[in-house]
């Protein structure tokens, strides 16, 4: 029992050590000779110094830290443009193993070592802005994984710990989706699994359910590996059973999505044309001279009109231009208004135009809008982007930060957020307009479908990040949204990648980057909603709360265990 010495006890010496007794070297050696005082000076202290202790700690943690970094790299490779989705399972399993049985502080450090290389690979497309932006945003996002690592370490001692692991992954993504400045949900496990067996689960519970399933399968693989290690050490038949059970459950979770029906039957169809006008050059200065991008899209539309007149292609019911397809405010610059109107009249059908429009009452603010432009009546209904990107489309604390980071002066005006969903009547179709990064936010897309959108349009401008992997990452989100809401998704980009995604997540049409072109396609219009549409954010909140409660339970169990140990002593 604790506190008892069972061997090597000299006669007459007590068999127990009283609670709180001194167990230092001085106590073992006995009292110092009379008249002497043990030295406490720096030269007489035999305990290793702080630097030596830190060095020993670093050497001890180095292998685990290196493995965590490798696992983070593996998770980065699971995302586009690499698309090695099985690595998402491997990465989750590795982080679960590396934090299992550790203290919260140790788990937090492992989470940092895992998260930083992951986000550096995922967000390297920001190097167009500057590598300091890549590192800064990666560190900020890694802080959420630090908390995740601590939570994984805490809950790893609880029964059925793979379940709590999966809930904690959802909780971490829930927080990143909202904090700070409205959040930045890039890098969710669901976005690495837009073409995997997990994808159909989005129709049941959206992106959070896909993340939960991926994390649960990965954690079960970790549990299987733990049981297998126990078998190597002579765990017997029970270890065999545990290994088989965990692996079998991981396989079952992985293929469960294949049994989920993804509704795709059309209630109606509409023929659309997506115009990708292209830009002069990629990077921060993609705009070039004024009117150039607008003229590119107008010219491509007029060429489409000529093809229609000569029966080379069927006439579309509507045309979609991308975000920022007009590089001048058409309501402030008559030449921009006339150029748009000329192209729309040439094709003879409504065109959804992307433009930056000056705020009518707040100087220095602009709207990022999608405008329905009719060939007879001109500009009509519009949608304003609800979630501008912080530090990209507006600068928080502009007055203070611009003095420190002069690069923010390249964002001369702040985008003003819209206050309603993007449901627009474009010709015969009721479309849901979502602008650029908004496709990453569950609630914006969900509300747009809930308002009655029969298909989704993603107007985007990725010219700044061309050929960096960012357009592929955004297209993957469109694929997930198609399955989640059972809607065709049309992505219109100034420089690519413009694409048409069927309700089952299949890309049916695509224009390469930095190519002027037009996609003509007939897309399904659907009224039926998925279960994910009906339950909304409830699964995410439930799973996140369960994850947080599991951490609380782990803390309580740990305190009770320490109390019992103290009583035993």
Q: What are the strands, taking DSSP E only, across 385-526? A: 414-415, 423-426, 429-435, 455-460, 489-493, 498-501, 507-511, 517-525
In order of 153, 271, 450, 522, the CA distances from 265 in angstroms are: 46, 16, 18, 14
User: Is 385 designated active site?
Assistant: yes
Give the β-pairing of 268-276 and 318-320.
parallel
**Conformational region of residue 320, where left means phi above 0, alpha means psi within -120 to 50, and beta covers everything else:** beta
| Closest C-alpha among 177, 247, 256 to residue 213 | 256
- Locate 261 and state its tokens: 């029906």
Catalytic annotation, pick one of 167, 173, 369, 385: 385
Residue 192: CB partners within 8 Å, gap ≥ 6? 75, 78, 79, 85, 88, 214, 476
| Closest C-alpha among 305, 537, 560 to residue 443 | 537
Q: How far apart are CA 341 and CA 337, in angstroms?
A: 6
Q: Is 210 helix (H, G, I), strand (E, B) or coil?
A: helix
Determine the distance from the C-alpha atom of residue 115 to the mean position of all C-alpha atoms in its chain, rounded to a whole number: 12
Q: What are the strands, taking DSSP E only, across 243-348? A: 268-276, 318-320
- Locate 562 and state its tokens: 């320490």
Q: Is 465 helix (H, G, I), strand (E, B) or coil?
A: helix
Q: How many CB atoms lie within 10 A of CB 62?
A: 10
Catalytic annotation, pick one of 173, 436, 438, 540: 436
| Closest C-alpha among 75, 60, 135 to residue 111 | 75
- Locate 41 and state its tokens: 């000076």
Q: How far apart are CA 212 and CA 217, in angstroms?
A: 9
What are phi and psi for residue 8, nearest 5 degrees?
65, 30
Q: How far apart are CA 50 and CA 48, in angstroms?
A: 7
Catalytic annotation, pick one of 141, 167, 173, 323: 323
Intra-chain end-to-end CA distance of the chain, in Å: 9
Residue 51: CB partners within 8 Å, gap ≥ 6? none
Residue 556: CB partners within 8 Å, gap ≥ 6? none
Residues for the chain: how many in total? 569
Q: How many CB atoms lie within 10 A of CB 390?
A: 14
| Closest C-alpha among 207, 210, 178, 186 to residue 197 | 210
Buried b (16+ CB within 10 A) or exposed e, 404-419: eeeebeebeebbbbbe
Q: Which residues are catalytic?
A: 323, 385, 436
């Amino acid at each position: 029992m604790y506190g008892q010495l069972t061997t090597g006890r000299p006669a007459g010496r007590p068999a127990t050590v009283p609670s709180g007794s001194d167990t230092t070297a001085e106590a073992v050696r006995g009292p110092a000779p009379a008249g002497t005082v043990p030295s406490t000076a720096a030269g007489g202290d035999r305990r290793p110094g702080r630097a030596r202790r830190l060095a020993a700690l670093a050497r001890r943690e180095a292998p685990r830290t290196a493995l965590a970094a490798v696992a983070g790299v593996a998770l980065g490779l699971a995302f586009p443009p690499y698309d090695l989705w099985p690595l998402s399972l491997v990465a989750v399993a590795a982080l679960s193993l590396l934090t299992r049985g550790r203290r919260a502080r140790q788990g937090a450090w492992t989470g940092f070592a895992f998260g930083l290389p992951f986000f550096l690979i995922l967000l390297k497309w920001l190097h167009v802005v500057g590598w300091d932006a890549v590192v800064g945003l990666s560190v900020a996002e890694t802080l959420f994984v630090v908390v995740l690592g601590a939570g994984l370490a805490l809950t790893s001692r609880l029964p059925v710990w793979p379940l709590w692991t999966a809930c904690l992954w959802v909780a971490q993504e829930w927080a990143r989706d909202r904090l700070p400045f409205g959040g930045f949900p890039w890098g969710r496990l669901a976005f690495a699994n837009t073409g995997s067996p997990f994808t159909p689960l989005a129709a049941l519970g959206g992106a959070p359910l896909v993340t939960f399933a991926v994390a649960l399968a990965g954690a079960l693989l970790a549990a299987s590996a733990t049981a297998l290690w126990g078998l190597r050490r002579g765990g017997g038949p029970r270890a065999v059973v545990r290994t088989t059970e965990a692996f079998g459950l991981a396989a079952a979770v992985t293929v469960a999505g294949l049994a989920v029906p993804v509704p795709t039957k059309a209630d109606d169809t509409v023929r659309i044309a997506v115009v990708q006008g292209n830009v002069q050059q990629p990077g921060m200065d993609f705009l070039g001279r004024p009117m150039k991008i607008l003229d590119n899209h107008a010219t491509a539309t007029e060429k489409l009109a000529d093809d229609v007149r000569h029966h080379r292609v069927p006439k579309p019911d509507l045309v979609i231009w991308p975000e920022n397809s007009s590089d001048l405010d058409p309501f402030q610059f008559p030449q921009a208004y006339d150029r748009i109107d000329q192209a729309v009249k040439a094709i003879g059908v409504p065109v959804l135009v992307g433009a930056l429009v000056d705020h009518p009452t707040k100087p220095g603010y602009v709207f990022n809008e999608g405008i329905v432009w009719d060939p007879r009546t001109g500009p009509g209904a519009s949608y304003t982007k609800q979630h501008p990107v912080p530090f990209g489309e507006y600068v928080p604390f502009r007055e203070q930060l611009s003095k420190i980071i002069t690069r923010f002066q390249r964002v001369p005006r702040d985008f003003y957020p819209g206050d309603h969903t993007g449901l627009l009547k474009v010709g015969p179709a009721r479309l849901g307009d979502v602008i650029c990064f908004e496709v990453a936010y569950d609630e914006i897309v969900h509300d747009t479908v809930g308002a009655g959108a029969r298909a989704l349009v993603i107007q985007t401008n990725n010219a700044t990040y061309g050929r960096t992997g960012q357009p592929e990452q955004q297209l993957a989100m469109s694929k997930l949204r198609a399955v989640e809401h059972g809607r065709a998704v049309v992505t219109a980009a100034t420089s690519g990648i413009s694409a048409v995604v069927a309700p089952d997540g299949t890309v049916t049409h695509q224009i390469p980057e930095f190519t002027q072109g037009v996609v003509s396609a007939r897309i399904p219009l659907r009224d039926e909603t998925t279960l994910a549409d009906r339950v909304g954010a409830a699964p995410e909140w439930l799973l996140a709360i369960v994850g947080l409660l599991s951490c609380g339970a782990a803390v309580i169990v740990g305190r009770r265990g320490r109390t019992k140990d103290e009583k035993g002593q």
